[in-house]
Structure 1
Amino acid sequence: MLKPPVGILGGTFDPVHIGHLRPAIEARDALGLAEIRLIPNHIPPHRANPLCSSEQRLAMVRLAAAENPGFVVDERELKRDKPSWTIDTLIELRGELPDTPLCFLMGMDSLLTLPSWHRWQELLDYAHLVVSLRPGWQPDYPADIAGLLARHGTRRAEDLHLKLSGHIWLADNLPIALSATRLRDLLARGQDTRYLLPACVAHYIEQEGLYRTVAENPQAGPAQPGGKPGHP
């Protein structure tokens, strides 16, 4: 008999915010997940290196996880000295959890770009894909993704309990229009970010003086003085 499924949420978490956490909470509740594993990565393969160090991002993720029942932190990707490919992490987790369905959480934008992922055709061999909505998004599925949904899509939450992997479940979650880039710009401007990230994370950012330099948006206005810039 299979154990209750486990959710997997990876990312740079630079910083972790409600756009990460709220869809994960809704997936946990809708699917009856045993836990959500937050997996911060060290070297993201598809984007620039994070502004904050691995240690700072790990500290923020730990703070966020501590406030959410069923959330745990998995540090495995931070210990790698190479890009963190999702397929490698899923293979490791499958070896460690042979009787547990794995549910890899992603946004609709990630699903649409899935063919650009490393060994993407193998992902469903190791996990289910749980896809959250994005505000105002009207998906125009490419042919390969439309075919993937036709073969693997399900609307039945119980299906993800009955198999170790292989389904794609489209979540009916509350859409949240927030990106880490936008949040970092707000922080750099010194604007109020309450309700956009956990209060404990906001306190850590303030305490450490993170994100006070404007590195991404030259129109964002002057940086706030007196802070320690995030590590490149």
Structure 2
Amino acid sequence: MKIGVFGGTFDPVHNGHINAFAETYIGLELDKVIIVPTFISPFKKKTGSTDRHRLNMLKRAVKNYDFAEIDTFELDQQTVTYTFDTLKYLKEKYPDDELYFIIGTDHFITFDKWANADKLHDLAKFVVLDRNDELYNVKAPFIKLNTNIVEVSSTLIRERLKTNTEVRHLMHEEVYGYIKEQRLYET
């Protein structure tokens, strides 16, 4: 099988996230996509909502995508988890399958700073989603995928929610309902 791996903070999950993994699923003719919410990103401070809330929002956002599943490996670690550790875990879980780790150009340009960057290509193929045909020199062993990217930012959504500005159009309606019900990001 060809399995996509899509990680992130998803705080909150939005249409840009969904579009990215769905377009990769289509563009690479994947068999499924595993979505891995991180506990704490090595490149970000912990902000926003709790792990439980992020997971609940993610479940609502992907429930209608039969090719998508959520793996809580990184949340279960309760510490910073590096892509290398996650891919080792997934490679053990799916030893006979091809893993395709999905990243944006923002992560591509910092790839050499990732933990064990020199060993990551042994575990998975890295797919770089090209946002608006940016001029990055993406070449083997990376796979460049030109796709229709929906530009949305979790940071923008959190900021708008604090000021009670409309965001409903940027996410799945059940995610929006959950955020309102739980009063997330209000302060």
Q: Following the alignment from structure 2 to structure 1, what is the Cα–Cα distance between the partners of residues 84 and 54?
A: 22
What is aligned with 1:33?
30
Q: Following the alignment from structure 1 to structure 2, what is the Cα–Cα distance between the partners of residues 187 and 135?
A: 27
Is the 8 Å Cα contact of residues 135 and 176 (structure 1) preserved in structure 2?
no
Structure 1 gap ranges (5+): 153-167, 214-232
What is aligned with 1:24?
21
Structure 2 gap ranges (5+): none
- 5 Å matches for 1:78-157? 78-135=75-132, 137-139=134-136, 141=137, 149=139, 151-152=140-141
How far apart are residue 82 of structure 1 and its match? 2.2
What is the letter of the counterpart of residue 131 of structure 2?
R
CA RMSD across the alignment: 1.4
What is the letter of the counterpart of residue 152 of structure 2?
L
Is the 8 Å Cα contact of residues 135 and 177 (structure 1) preserved in structure 2?
no
Is the 8 Å Cα contact of residues 107 and 132 (structure 1) preserved in structure 2?
yes
Structure that is richer in strand per residue: 2
Q: Following the alignment from structure 1 to structure 2, what is the Cα–Cα distance between the partners of residues 179 and 21?
A: 12
**Relative contact order: is structure 1 or structure 2 higher (C-alpha 8 Å, sep ≥ 6)?**
2
Greater Cα radius of gyration, structure 1 or 2: 1
1:56 is the counterpart of 2:53: yes
How far apart are residue 138 of structure 1 and its match? 3.0
Of 105-114 and 130-139, deviating more is 130-139
Q: What is the number of equivalent residue pairs in this alignment?
A: 187
1:5 is the counterpart of 2:2: yes
Offset from partner CA, 1:28-76 (integer Å, 9 cap, x none): 0121211111111112211100310000001011111202221111011
Offset from partner CA, 1:123-153 (integer Å, 9 cap, x none): 11000111112247332x5xxxx6xx2x42x
Offset from partner CA, 1:56-100 (integer Å, 9 cap, x none): 001011111202221111011111132110000001111111110
Residues 1:62 and 1:185: Cα distance change in structure 2 (over 3 Å): same
Is the 8 Å Cα contact of residues 98 and 124 (structure 2) preserved in structure 1?
yes
TM-score by length of 2: 0.94
1:173 is the counterpart of 2:147: yes
Q: Following the alignment from structure 1 to structure 2, what is the Cα–Cα distance between the partners of residues 98 and 137?
A: 34
TM-score by length of 1: 0.77
Q: Following the alignment from structure 2 to structure 1, what is the Cα–Cα distance between the partners of residues 174 and 132?
A: 26
Q: Following the alignment from structure 2 to structure 1, what is the Cα–Cα distance between the partners of residues 173 and 13?
A: 11
What is the letter of the counterpart of residue 186 of structure 2?
R
How far apart are residue 176 of structure 1 and its match? 2.2
What is the letter of the counterpart of residue 13 of structure 1?
F
What is the letter of the counterpart of residue 112 of structure 1?
I
